Structure formats: C-alpha cells, structure tokens
C-alpha cells in the first residue's frame, strides 16, 4: 500500500514507520474503518446521506489498490441506475408509485407520470465524476447515469450549471448532444400515425388517431426529458383503452400498437451508449 522512496529513510513514530499522505482525514478514516473494523458496503443503500462515505472509500481503495469493496460500491451504483431496462423500470415505477400514493388527489385517472425527483437521490453528475476519477470507462455503467442526468434538464436545450459542475468539458458536451438526440427521437415518435390491424383501419384507425391526439400528444410534449418512461406508460395506457366506450380501438389493434411502441423503446434503451457517445 505504501512504498518508501528509494534511498529515503522513513520517519519513525513509536517504533513504527510514519508516512505523510495528502488524503483528507475523512477519506483516511473511511479506508481504515473498512480495513480494520470490517465495514461492509454490500448492505448499504446509496443515498445522499451515505454517498460521502462510499465516495471516499472508492477513491481511497482505488488510490491504494484495495480491491475488495470496489465491486460492491459499483454494485450499489448500478442498483440505483441499472443498465437493464426491466430493472430500470422497476426502480422508476417504485418511485412513481410512492409519489402518486402521497399525491393521489393531484392526478386524474390515466395520468402518465414518467418519473419523479427524489430529494434523497445522489445527483447523477456526482456519480459520473466519481467513476471518472476512479478510472471506470464501461459504457453500460455510464449510459444509465447520463440518461438520468438528461432527465434533470427540465427546460428545452439546457441544464442548470450547478448540476453539471462536477463533469468534465467532454462529458458536458456528451450530455448536451445526447439530450438533443433523445428529444429529436422523441418528437419524431410523437408524429408517427398509430396503426393497428390493417383490416380494422376503417374503425380502429380513426379511434387510434383520436386517442393519439387527445391522450398522447399533449402528454408527450411535456415529457421531452423522459422519453423512455413516457413511452412505457403510453403502451400501458393504450392497452387500458382497448374496447372502452364510446369509441375505442379493439384489443388486437391496441396490442399491435403497444408492442410497436415497446419495440422502439427497447431499441432506444439499447442505443443509449451511442446516444451519449460512450462507445
């Protein structure tokens, strides 16, 4: 862990070698706590409260080549920002359900609420900066984080400077280019005509067009920063509309449309490393 400089006699303190390091007290305490007191991180949930300790630990274990806790810390990060779409949906859906249960009277039935902010979350930019500093480069590790960071951009064309201040100039550019690509793809999907079974075009075609103009278009315009979540919710909403009076597309057409939407959504998620120029 510590290698003396050749020809330099180390200082001694009470019969032990004494080394001076440039690490902060907090960082060194985190490292020593892990080494001597058996601090285990696999059971620690990553939150704004636990992030300083986990961040210090990852920094120090990377610097001093202590292997054991690093995979566990990265696993904590991936549990919050998984690269698997089904796991991403599970994390997001749990957060949305919790929020809507607490604010049920604010949202009418059928509302598509793509995602909600959580004050206990660690900001994705801080995680990206931490991983960069510790030498991680895997696209599948960074892609969900960049997507999560893009969701923080509420206004079209930018994000709050303080939110991205930990990022390098290259990563800021990567983020902004990715945001524009995501929004262009999202807007392109909103103008696609929904089509079901060709034989049902006379009735279901009109019903799908009405559904799109009255239920999807406005909501889609308000979901520029969360296309993955929006289209997942849209597919569910279309399936719920099947056969509902007074005029609704049939179940067959709704299933075809929903499957088409989900295929496009899956393809977008798979392309996320390319969207943010990570691969």
Q: What pLDDT, in 10s, does the model give residues 53-106? A: 889 889 888 888 888 788 989 999 999 999 999 999 999 888 887 777 777 667
Beta carbons of 239 and 254 less than 8 angstroms apart: yes
Other residues' Cβ atoms within 10 Å of the Cβ of residue 171: 21
Residue 36 has which token pair? 């001597």
Q: How far apart are CA 230 and CA 275, in angstroms?
A: 18
Beta carbons of 223 and 229 less than 8 angstroms apart: yes
Compute CA distances 77 → 45, 51, 126, 128, 144, whole Å.
Answer: 9, 10, 11, 10, 10
The confidence band for 142, taking pLDDT boundaries of 50, 70 and 90, is very high
| Mean pLDDT score, 23-52 | 74
What confidence score (pLDDT) does residue 227 get?
A: 92
Which three-class secondary structure string do you get for 215-256? HHHHHHHCCCCCHHHHHHHHHHHHHHHCCCCCCCCCHHHHHH
On the question of pLDDT at 154 being above 60, the answer is no
- Tell me 12's DSSP state: E
On the question of pLDDT at 32 being above 60, the answer is yes
Average pLDDT, the chain: 81
Q: Report the SS3 class of residue 151.
A: coil
Beta carbons of 204 and 249 less than 8 angstroms apart: yes
Closest to 77 (Cα-Cα) out of 15, 148, 145, 7:
145
* Domains in the chain: boundaries: 11-79, 188-270
Closest to 73 (Cα-Cα) out of 94, 90, 92, 56:
56
Beta carbons of 230 and 220 less than 8 angstroms apart: yes
pTM metric for this prediction: 0.81
What confidence score (pLDDT) does residue 160 get?
A: 41
Q: Which residue has the tokens 């399936």?
A: 239
Angle, alpha carbons 127-132-138 (nearest 5°): 95
What confidence score (pLDDT) does residue 115 get?
A: 60
What confidence score (pLDDT) does residue 19 get?
A: 61
Which pLDDT tens digit goes with each residue over 165-179? 889 999 999 999 999
């Amino acid at each position: 862990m510590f290698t003396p400089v050749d020809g330099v006699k180390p200082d001694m303190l009470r019969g032990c070698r004494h080394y001076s390091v440039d690490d902060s007290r907090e960082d060194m305490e985190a490292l020593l706590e892990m080494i001597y007191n058996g601090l285990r991180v696999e059971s620690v949930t990553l939150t704004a409260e636990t992030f300083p300790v986990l961040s210090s630990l990852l920094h120090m274990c990377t610097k001093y080549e202590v292997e054991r806790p690093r995979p566990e810390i990265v696993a904590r990060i991936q549990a919050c920002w998984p690269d698997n779409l089904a796991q991403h949906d599970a994390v997001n859906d749990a957060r949305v359900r919790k929020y809507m249960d607490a604010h049920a009277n604010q949202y009418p039935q059928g509302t598509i609420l793509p995602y909600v902010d959580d004050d206990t979350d660690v900001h994705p930019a801080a995680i990206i900066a931490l991983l960069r500093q510790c030498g991680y480069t895997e696209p599948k590790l960074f892609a969900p984080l960049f997507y999560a960071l893009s969701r923080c951009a509420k206004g079209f064309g930018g994000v709050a400077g303080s939110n991205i201040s930990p990022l390098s100039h290259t990563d800021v550019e990567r983020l902004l280019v990715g945001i524009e690509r995501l929004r262009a793809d999202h807007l392109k999907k909103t103008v696609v005509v929904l089509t079901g079974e060709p034989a049902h075009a006379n009735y279901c075609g009109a019903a799908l067009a009405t559904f799109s103009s009255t239920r999807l278009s406005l909501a889609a315009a308000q979901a520029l920063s969360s296309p993955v979540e929006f289209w997942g919710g849209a597919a569910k909403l279309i399936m719920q509309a099947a056969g509902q009076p007074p005029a609704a597309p049939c179940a067959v057409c709704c299933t075809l449309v929903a499957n088409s939407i989900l295929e496009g959504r899956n393809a977008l998620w798979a392309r996320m490393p390319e969207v943010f120029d990570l691969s």
